[in-house]
């Protein structure tokens, strides 16, 4: 029995490259030539390893969620820190990523979610982006409803509104990062928001 030809590229490296293209250009703005050029593979290899463009986008989005989104949550789960410190460090960890010079600026999800309204996204991609959009708000609501300090500050009574406020700030800093804002300049936005929620250092 003759075995299939071994792939001559690292799939994880290629997928990371695809993620960065989608992050920079969005789904509709990314061509197959953009992808193969950045991934360093040809179209047959792309189709063989990842399927079509939509399938590759799904895999790239899942990679972003697991490697660029979920790791920040460890900060919120560090209950040895006061609530202000956890929220400040969590928000600034994301802002620093949004402004990082070593990756596309802004937020992959914000960039791609903006295309939902155009109707150009395939249905499965739209569903993934829509479901993922609800996760940050749910994380904040969960925190505010169960954290003892949040309860003592009566933040629990406004958990939904405060969660939406924080997520809106992060979407705003993502847009600012794409337009060239630096993380140190956006820190004042984070501090002002937290003070507005009744949290002080």
Q: What's the CA gap between 36 and 27, in Å, rounded? A: 14
pLDDT digits (tens, 9 = 90+) for 16-44: 999 999 999 999 999 999 999 999 999 99
Q: How far apart are CA 68 and CA 113, in angstroms?
A: 16
Q: Which residue has the tokens 């924080």?
A: 166
Domain ranges of the chain: 11-196
pLDDT in tens, 155-177: 999 999 999 999 999 999 999 99
The tens digit of pLDDT for each residue in 66-110 reads 999 999 999 999 989 999 999 999 999 999 999 999 999 999 999
Q: What local confidence, expressed as pLDDT, does residue 7 receive? A: 59
How large is the average pLDDT for residues 122-128?
Answer: 94
pLDDT at 3: 45
Residue 66: its pLDDT value, please? 96
What pLDDT, on the 0 to 100 scale, is given for residue 4? 44
The tokens describing 132, both together, are 């993922």
- CATH number of the 11-196 domain: 1.10.357.10
Q: Which residue has the higher pLDDT, 119 or 144?
A: 144
pLDDT greater than 80 at residue 183: yes
Yes or no: say if 190 and 92 are a contact pair by the CB < 8 Å rule: yes
Q: What is the mean pLDDT of residues 111-140?
A: 93
Q: How confident is the model at residue 2, as a pLDDT?
A: 43
């Amino acid at each position: 029995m003759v075995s299939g030809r071994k792939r001559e590229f690292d799939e994880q490296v290629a997928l990371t490259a695809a993620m960065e293209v989608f992050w920079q250009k969005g789904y509709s703005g990314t061509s197959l030539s953009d992808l193969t050029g950045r991934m360093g593979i040809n179209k047959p290899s792309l189709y063989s390893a990842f399927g079509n463009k939509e399938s590759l986008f799904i895999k790239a989005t899942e990679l972003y969620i697991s490697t660029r989104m979920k790791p920040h949550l460890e900060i919120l789960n560090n209950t040895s820190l006061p609530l202000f410190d956890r929220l400040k460090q969590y928000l600034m960890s994301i802002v620093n990523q949004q402004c990082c010079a070593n990756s596309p600026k802004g937020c992959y999800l914000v960039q791609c979610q903006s295309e939902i309204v155009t109707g150009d996204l395939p249905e499965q991609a739209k569903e993934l982006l829509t479901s993922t959009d609800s996760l940050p708000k749910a994380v904040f609501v969960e925190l505010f409803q169960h954290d003892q300090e949040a309860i003592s500050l009566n933040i629990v009574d406004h958990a939904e509104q405060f969660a939406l406020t924080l997520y809106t700030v992060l979407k705003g800093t993502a847009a600012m990062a794409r337009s060239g804002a630096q993380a140190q300049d956006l820190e004042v936005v984070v501090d002002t928001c937290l003070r507005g929620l009744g949290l002080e250092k």
